[in-house]
Structure 1
Amino acid sequence: MVNGNCHQTSKYQCWGFQMNEQMWWRGAVIYQIYPRSFYDTNQDGIGDLPGIISKLDYIASLGIDAIWISPFFKSPMKDFGYDISDYRDIDPIFGTLADFDELVLKAHALGIKIMIDQVLSHTSDQHQWFIDSREDKTNDKADWYVWSDAKEDGTAPNNWLSIFGGSGWTWDPRRQQYYLHNFLTSQPDLNFHNPEVRQAVLDNIEFWLKRGVDGFRLDAINFCYHDAQLRDNPAKPKELRTSIGFDEKNPYAYQYHYYNNTQDENLGFMEDIRSLLNQYPGSVALGEISSEDSLKTMAEYTQGNTRLHMGYSFDLLTDNFSASYIKQVVESLEARVSDGWPCWSISNHDVERVVSRWGGFNSKDFAKMLFAMISSLRGSVCSYQGEELGLTEADIAFEDIQDPYGITFWPQFKGRDGCRTPHPWQHDAINAGFSDGKPWLPVASEHFAQAVDIQDEATDSVLNSYRNFNHWRKEQPALRYGDIKFIDTPEPILAFVRQYQGEQLLVCFNFSEQSQTVALSSLLAENANLNVLSGHKLTSATIVDGALQLPPFGCFYCKLGQQAKSLS
């Protein structure tokens, strides 16, 4: 994908710039591992921590900076680990604490940072805290969750809804009260208005810092606090009910969620988290944010050096795909974020795989272009396992569905299983080499042909392009750390300049399956000298008669000389 020889330089040194080790996360590529589906070593059909350890050389070959591992803590698995019953232990299906310690040690030896999920806003209903809390109204944990009396007619305290469908409140006969759950009924919300809860949560975070983790992905972090007055959420007009991640298939879209999440008090808790992490230099917090205005919340949650290090939203995890939409999202955040730092993602364990979601193109070049694009925006990157192979969304039969979200909303919404199927390692092995046992989700038949062993051998594969691009990107401080300025171009062209310490990089993408021609005069200032254009071309893009010719899903990168600095 990149012309010339790609080689990995010193981890934080490029073009003579030495990045402070404590700032490793700026511009980092973070590879998300969904452990249930990565690699199974004990043949029970579920991936495990030893499976990740056994594939660390593969992970290192990708040229990434860190791995984020989705939850592996003790859990009844009602939401596959996002319902935690013990924050300080490993669920036996994934391994042991000794396995985790080995994983940290070996990953660090390979120069890979370790980030883990922390699900702070809620626990499992099987967590001891909740077991105690629900017993009565006077025990030591009575106020650790969000409890409320029924209205006079016996109905729920207010109109708040669960993301997974129905009321956000469930009646508990022991307490003779309702408890709040923004997600499943088995995921009761903690009461962060209680200082004891906040401290207990911070203590759990520190437990993993002491075990050597380098950072945390904070799940649904803006959901920690609720409105203490329990005010009703206002109705959302019908014409506005299509929001990021929700539409009229889910009544959650019928409200403005002003009171059940994203409360002002949460900013103080973000500062508490940052204060703790500052005691462990180099550790980092990445917040998952989904609010009524997620870009605004991202800016608030990463403001200054006192809150989260990074945040990401679902704005690029939607069905919207166009050059103008990418430009609008990034420019909107840039206008607000000031000194904050974004993290961008186009795939994860909650949404349809990007090559299927954004047009359904069955094209290696499309997959290559998408990763290059997201990795060229200002910020860090979360890349989901399988993205490096260009995996498509799997079609899961109803009888194989595991996701409670999909079971509830079938057939209008099939859930999240289609992006969670096992990673294909070997094209001619049972279950594509993931496990000898029956996997928890079936391996998609089309994924066998995209297996790692096949793509390893093909120089033009998505996998090798992903590797080459990551290694090349590490040598480009303008891409990792620089500012961004978009250039006005018509669809389907996305163009911008990244600038850092006097170096400028012109970047162009063709979002179309047809070739496109762009006049260089529309990309450069009038005083630009065309002879200074040089650098790396990620596809066979060429310059002919003063025009840039981009092939289908083509990418172009070019260093600009001193005469091309003015881009206004």
Structure 2
Amino acid sequence: MPAEERPWWKGAVIYQIYPRSFADSNGDGIGDLPGITQRLDHVATLGADAIWISPFFTSPMLDFGYDVAEFRNVDPIFGTLEDFDALVEKAHALGLKVIIDQVWSHSSDQHRWFEESRQSRDNPKADWYVWSDPKPDGSPPNNWQSIFGGPAWTWDPRRGQYYFHNFLKQQPDLNLHSEEVQAEIIEVARFWLDRGVDGFRIDAVLHMFHDSALTDNPPASDPDKSKARSHDFQDNIHNQAGPGTFRFVKRIREVMDQYGATFSVAEVGGSGVHEFQQRLTEGETKLNSVYGFEFLYAKQLTPEVVCASLKRWPGEDSEGWPTWAFENHDAPRAVSRWARPEHADAFNRMKLLLFLCLRGNVIIYQGEELGLTQVDIPYEKLQDPEAIANWPMTLSRDGVRTPMPWVKDAPQAGFSSAQPWLPIGPDHPAMAVDQQAGVQGSLLEWTKACIALRKAHPALQTGDLVACREEGSVIMLERAGGGERLLCVFNTGEEPASVSLPADFEILEQCGDVAAGQLGPFAAFVASMPEIE
């Protein structure tokens, strides 16, 4: 697809910013919007196309911004609406699009909508949330379980009813079956589009619509399923993925199309959700893209995982466009999951080159370009409510949310002048931006090179996936488009590997030891090949 015809988001490199941990401008130990603005040059020099900013809205912060108490304002710890406007202006001046999280499946119990809804059964917002009478014995209406553990229902004595929450009890689910609620959410979308945002990452889309009949979920059909939480003991069929989702996303798409070249990507995690993902993005009337957790929770980066994931999006007519992430604010650092410490540098280089060769958009999580590792947060310093509730069975999300290191020898590695809200990883200052920027051979400069390679080749940005082959520990991708054909080869293993290569190719970029038919541990290359006649 010629660049002038390509939507800006198709094949984009998106940089995720977790605002609490990116940069603190006012010395309170918590990152903020002005801090992001001050550090946007770093993102621009990477070559990224856009930033995605995790929630910064008014919130009691019980789930760190995913419990929204006001959808149209900025929480004071992050700044003001004027600070947000300045951020958008700076990002656009640097050529960066701005994508923000939208949390439309639920709100905080401190939101004025919920405070009104819970007062009675006949007030104007009585049905803006999901309420139900108890069973005759006083127990909850059904057996649904919260993702954070325990029943997904909490009793409210004012109404004499239970309310539904997929997450914390302080995060009641909005009743998106209500046309009034849908209309209000659309106005929220318009508010941010009017402020110049270029797209939305829509949180928890799987949980927007439940079965109105409140049918019990069956027991988990997979006997080997991990059961760390009560939620895991069920096949979560009736509490999520309702058919109303598809009608609602059409309404969202209509609004976004009115604003021009905007972008929508749905977060859809969990197993067995590919059909739902496809339906969310099929055709030209729904969302542009979707990303799931295929890589985020994969125990190892293997050829089987990569090829299976890519082959679910073969590029057929009317099919949506995938978005990929190897790590984010909810998933552990990839290098800590997938490589032993002694192989970290070589692995990171192979992983980044592979990442930038995938068909679809890619989301780089802050610090991934530096090679940051997962931080072990002791129980007494945990902030993550899920980890605290399910300790020690659930891996803490705090370990991937620690502050970004900017300057090795500055207080708090240049993140803040105060003690940060989470500790800085003990090995992170040595990986700080000032230690890698402009340094030949650093992982940061390698990341820039991989992004530049992707942007220079239409076959990588928007081309077809002609083949994904597995040869032992080796992945072989063939990409084609824009008048070129590329071969991308990656050894995901710790041992050298022999591969069957075509006779005629020219290497464009490589890492590790690459010889004729032989790849060293974690070696990889991208090569051009003659086009098929």
Q: TM-score range by the shorter chain?
A: over 0.9
**Residue in structure 1 matched with residue 237 of structure 2 by the alignment:** 258
Question: SS of 2:508's equivalent?
Answer: coil
**Residue in structure 2 matched with residue 311 of structure 1 by the alignment:** 290
The reply on whether 1:175 has 2:159 as its aligned counterpart is: yes
Of 304-313 and 230-239, deviating more is 230-239
Within 2, Cα distance between the matches of 1:58 and 1:513?
32
Checking the alignment, whether the CA contact within 8 Å between 1:295 and 1:333 is kept in structure 2 is no
The reply on whether 1:551 has 2:520 as its aligned counterpart is: yes
Checking the alignment, whether the CA contact within 8 Å between 1:407 and 1:414 is kept in structure 2 is no
Checking the alignment, whether the CA contact within 8 Å between 1:298 and 1:342 is kept in structure 2 is no
Within 2, Cα distance between the matches of 1:419 and 1:168?
27
**Residue in structure 1 matched with residue 338 of structure 2 by the alignment:** 358
Instruction: Name structure 2 gaps, 5 residues minimum.
Output: none
**Residue in structure 2 matched with residue 389 of structure 1 by the alignment:** 370
The reply on whether 1:165 has 2:149 as its aligned counterpart is: yes
Checking the alignment, whether the CA contact within 8 Å between 2:176 and 2:182 is kept in structure 1 is yes
Q: Deviations over 1:284-316 (max 9, x none)?
A: 111001254222221111100110000000111
Corresponding letter in the other structure for 1:386: G
Corresponding letter in the other structure for 2:338: W
2:274 to 270, 278, 295: 295
Task: State the Cα distance separating 1:540 from its structure 2 match.
Answer: 4.5
Question: SS of 1:239's equivalent?
Answer: coil
Corresponding letter in the other structure for 1:556: F
Checking the alignment, whether the CA contact within 8 Å between 1:474 and 1:480 is kept in structure 2 is yes
The change in CA–CA distance for 1:515 and 1:292 in structure 2 (over 3 A counts) is: closer
How does 1:19-418 map onto structure 2 within 5 Å? Answer: 19-20=4-5, 23-237=7-221, 239-241=223-225, 247-321=226-300, 322-334=302-314, 339-362=319-342, 363-418=344-399
TM-score by length of 2: 0.97
Question: SS of 1:164's equivalent?
Answer: coil
Q: Deviations over 1:499-525 (max 9, x none)?
A: 1143110010010122222122xxx4x
**Residue in structure 2 matched with residue 11 of structure 1 by the alignment:** none
Within 2, Cα distance between the matches of 1:274 and 1:332?
23
2:529 to 560, 564, 568: 560
Corresponding letter in the other structure for 2:252: I
Corresponding letter in the other structure for 1:387: E
**Residue in structure 1 matched with residue 443 of structure 2 by the alignment:** 462
Within 2, Cα distance between the matches of 1:258 and 1:171?
23
TM-score by length of 1: 0.91
The change in CA–CA distance for 1:133 and 1:291 in structure 2 (over 3 A counts) is: same
Of 464-473 and 86-95, deviating more is 464-473
Task: State the Cα distance separating 1:357 from its structure 2 match.
Answer: 1.3
Within 2, Cα distance between the matches of 1:268 and 1:291?
22
The reply on whether 1:432 has 2:413 as its aligned counterpart is: yes
**Residue in structure 2 matched with residue 8 of structure 1 by the alignment:** none
Instruction: Name structure 1 gaps, 5 residues minimum.
Output: 1-15, 242-246, 525-529
Question: SS of 2:437's equivalent?
Answer: helix
Checking the alignment, whether the CA contact within 8 Å between 2:217 and 2:237 is kept in structure 1 is yes
The change in CA–CA distance for 1:337 and 1:234 in structure 2 (over 3 A counts) is: farther
Checking the alignment, whether the CA contact within 8 Å between 1:353 and 1:419 is kept in structure 2 is yes
Checking the alignment, whether the CA contact within 8 Å between 1:291 and 1:297 is kept in structure 2 is no
The change in CA–CA distance for 1:256 and 1:124 in structure 2 (over 3 A counts) is: same
Checking the alignment, whether the CA contact within 8 Å between 1:351 and 1:416 is kept in structure 2 is yes
The change in CA–CA distance for 1:335 and 1:240 in structure 2 (over 3 A counts) is: farther
Question: SS of 2:255's equivalent?
Answer: helix
Question: SS of 2:477's equivalent?
Answer: strand
Corresponding letter in the other structure for 2:510: L
Corresponding letter in the other structure for 1:555: A
Checking the alignment, whether the CA contact within 8 Å between 2:105 and 2:205 is kept in structure 1 is yes
Identity %: 46
Task: State the Cα distance separating 1:105 from its structure 2 match.
Answer: 0.6
Task: State the Cα distance separating 1:335 from its structure 2 match.
Answer: 7.8
Question: SS of 1:399's equivalent?
Answer: helix
Computed over aligned residues only, the root mean square deviation of the Cα atoms, in angstroms, reads: 1.6
